[in-house]
Amino acid sequence: ADLQTHATGSMAMDNWLMFTVITVLLLFAIYQAQWLQFGTDALGHAKAWGLVASLGLGLMCLYRRPRGKVVPGLFEARPSSVHGLGVFAVCDIAEGVLLGQYPGRHRTPNQMAAKCAVAPKARGYCFRTADGRYLDPTDARGDVSRWPAPGLPWPLPIEPTLAYINEPCIGHGDVNVKVRDACRGAELEFVTERCIH
């Protein structure tokens, strides 16, 4: 069965401010501990700040990493009569089963508009989250990719299969999958809305 989506969701607060405050407090505590360990001279300060900066960059990369994961063995991407590639079940899937999280990098509306201006194909794959950002699973050309770009470096590829789910025509109520907000509106989960055979 072709897995088609129906988007639902609620507004959620952006957790960027909370993440930033926690990160600053954590980094300050690490700095204080390292400053005491490295010594109170200028070299000790430089070593402590170097460690804090490295940890801060690592945390920023972690927070801004590409999203997306799937439950393996339930579906696959293959040619679709609706549009290009589609997502199809490879086994029976019960109602209410989590298929995975939509892949991509978070982008603000302005960032997404700028990308679509140079890579128009990206418009067909981005999903807006409840916190107002977009998940963009495409590379610099606008093609779905395991390495969405541009963005901070991240060493692990994402699983982009859910980016190929076809949406039904407007007013078409026959859907197999619904989209729900997760992680305070920063993520989108795909869940079966009925049994798929």
Question: How much is the pLDDT for 7?
Answer: 43
Q: What's the pTM value of the predicted model, to 2 decimals?
A: 0.66
Cα–Cα distance between 94 and 7 in angstroms, integer? 19
Residue range 155-171: mean pLDDT, rounded: 77
> And the tokens for 125?
């794959």
Lowest mean pLDDT among 35-39, 94-98, 120-124, 143-147: 35-39
pLDDT over 70, % of the chain: 71
Residue range 31-57: mean pLDDT, rounded: 70
- The SS3 assignment for 171 reads coil
Question: How much is the pLDDT for 186?
Answer: 64
Cα–Cα distance between 18 and 109 in angstroms, integer? 21
Q: What is the residue-averaged pLDDT of the chain? A: 77
- pLDDT at residue 117 tops 90: yes
- pLDDT at residue 188 tops 80: yes
Question: How much is the pLDDT for 61?
Answer: 66
- pLDDT at residue 26 tops 90: no
Cα–Cα distance between 51 and 120 in angstroms, integer? 41
Residue range 167-182: mean pLDDT, rounded: 71
Cα–Cα distance between 137 and 134 in angstroms, integer? 10
Model confidence pLDDT, tens digit, residues 79-105: 988 778 888 889 999 999 999 888 888
> And the tokens for 163?
């980016």
Task: State how far Cα 94 lies from the chain centre.
Answer: 25
Residue range 189-193: mean pLDDT, rounded: 88
Question: How much is the pLDDT for 189?
Answer: 87
Question: How much is the pLDDT for 31?
Answer: 65
